[in-house]
A and B are shown apart, each in its own frame.
Chain A
Amino acid sequence: MPHFTKPESGSWTEHFGLATEPVNYDDSISPEFYALEQEAVFKKTWLNVGRVEQLPKNGSFFTKELDGAKTSVIVVRNKDGELRAYHNMCRHRGNKLVWNDYPREETAGMCRQFTCKYHGWRYDLDGKLTFVQQESEFFNLDKADYGLKNVLVDEWQGFVFVNFDPDAAPLKEYMGALGAGLEGYPFGQLTQKHTYRAEIGSNWKLFIDAFMEFYHAPVLHSKQSVSEEARKLQGVGYEALAYDIDGPHAMVSSWGGMSPPKDLSMVKPIERVLRSGLFGPWEGPDLGELPEGINPARHPAWGIDSFLFFPNFMLLIWKPGWYLTYHYWPTSYNTHIFECSLYFEPPKNAFERIQQEMAVVTFKEFGLQDGNTLEATQTMIESGAVTEFPLCDQEVMLRHLHKVVRGYVAEHSAAQTQGHPTAAPTPVSAAS
């Protein structure tokens, strides 16, 4: 007996026109499929690489390593205050242009121009080549021909995105109805930021899977609740308030009875004293009326909405007035870098700072459990001993994600085959 209303078709999965058969994960265990994903997904979609607060002034820049798109980018605010993005590569002999000490590590700062460490070539913030060391030694070199390679860059609600496809549709269009439903949320007011990073031994999609279903929460995280509450949670299980899918993007809306809890004995002593926990400080800032895309079921028990903007950007809006982001940056078919940033209103006093720490540390404790479970999943899926996995209705977003990725890859492969009939790519099964 469902606790929350399901669509008339009886299940979320069927409501969204998805198959209900078991799925296989051959999209998560092979270098060949990852190579296709790089071309079809990461070089073709808008990728969120940061926020405007990271580029506060003209000349502010940061770099981002993107193995998924086989490159590194520089994102910079130019002298006119506009965003620009370039492949992080000198046009002379291809040295990485901006880095400190370790070429594979990201960096950030302020500058007036970019100077290559190798032979001193210089570029202005608009990517124009302005200086060539011993220019007269070159043969008919016209500096106008050797500017930095542009990458599309755009901003949505203060989030900075890049796209390697010069023909990409505008970002706002790409964000679709789910993005439009979030416009106006006061992201720019929540600037107290904590960022965490982890190297995870799994395919990037498997960690998204883990965070797009809460079916696991009452079991995997049971010890994070006091024992009586944990038993109750496992007995009830998990049901979302609502799901939504729009194009490649998806969201799940969830209840959150812990902020504040109805009964203080439900939570741990430190949570009672700090009045804070996984859902953040119980008495968060009043952010006014929230945009209509949040809590779409208009349920009074609403606690958190999780959005996945394809391919790898998750945005979680918590009822007590804060948000967090997850990013999953693939580094190979079975490894990725997981990044989480938690954003609060700047605390007004020392107590609020400690309340926020409680939410941050709780996230980390959960994340450590989730991350290690994934490595266990990856190794067993790679064994190939079992290839079909049943997904329940509360795992509808996973089913959708894997279907979307396969769709992008199939479409890309079809286009490649048409363009280059002799170079047929590895066939991909199109099952959902």
Chain B
Amino acid sequence: MAVLPAQFASLEPFAEWALPSEFDRYGKRIESSMEDMQAFYDAAMPALESGTEYLKGVALDGISEEDRNLVWLFCSLVTVSFPIEAWRQARVPDSGASSIDVVVEPGP
């Protein structure tokens, strides 16, 4: 069953990235291989670029379930962009065991 708006159907295989908390998005990044993140990034970046106008038309008040999932998926793209574009690894270099955890975050 589709969880994303119809025009983003190409991202359905990556629907598991539609996670509502930054804590979980970061956790999934740490557990993912670079190959899996690259595949997600390669699919989601062009969709974000071509979907920008659509997203600007989505009001947050009364947002639909599908649009909400789309916001979370693109928030995961943000999380994944750092390993792909900057670090070449899932973790922040030299961050060792340190963690900074979200304790308050807004909905979409």
Contact = CB atoms under 8 A, between A and B. Distances in A.
A55 to B, nearest CB: 15
A273 B92 contact: no
Interface in A343-375: 346-354, 357-358, 360-361, 364-365, 367-369, 371-373, 375
A369 B82 contact: no
Contacts of B81: 268-270
Interface in B49-108: 49, 52, 55-60, 63, 67, 70-71, 74-75, 77-79, 81-82, 85-87, 92-96, 98-106, 108
A197 interface: yes
A329 B77 CA distance: 32
Interface stretch (A5-13, A121-129, A187-195, A395-403): A187-195
Contact of A369 (B78, B92, B105): B92
Interface residues of A, number: 40
Interface residues of B, number: 41
B41 to A, nearest CB: 9
Contact of B22 (A192, A360, A373, A375): A360
Contacts of A381: none
A340 B52 CA distance: 29
A353 B108 contact: yes
Nearest to A193: B104
B74 A354 contact: yes
Contacts of A352: 56
B103 A196 contact: yes
B29 to A, nearest CB: 10
A223 interface: yes
B60 A270 contact: no
A360 B106 CA distance: 12
A354 B78 contact: yes
A362 to B, nearest CB: 8
A17 to B, nearest CB: 36
A233 interface: no
A341 B106 CA distance: 12
Interface of B: 22, 26, 45, 48-49, 52, 55-60, 63, 67, 70-71, 74-75, 77-79, 81-82, 85-87, 92-96, 98-106, 108
29 contacts: A193-B106, A194-B22, A194-B104, A197-B101, A270-B85, A273-B52, A349-B57, A349-B58, A349-B59, A350-B55, A350-B60, A350-B71, A353-B75, A354-B48, A354-B55, A354-B75, A357-B22, A361-B22, A361-B79, A364-B26, A367-B100, A368-B98, A368-B99, A369-B95, A371-B95, A372-B95, A372-B98, A375-B96, A375-B98
Given A194-B105, A270-B81, 9 more contacts: A197-B103, A223-B86, A268-B85, A273-B45, A274-B48, A350-B71, A354-B78, A357-B75, A371-B98
4 pairs of A and B residues whose beta carbons are closest in the complex: A195-B104, A351-B55, A350-B58, A270-B81
Interface of A: 192-198, 200, 223-224, 268-270, 273-274, 338, 340-341, 346-354, 357-358, 360-361, 364-365, 367-369, 371-373, 375
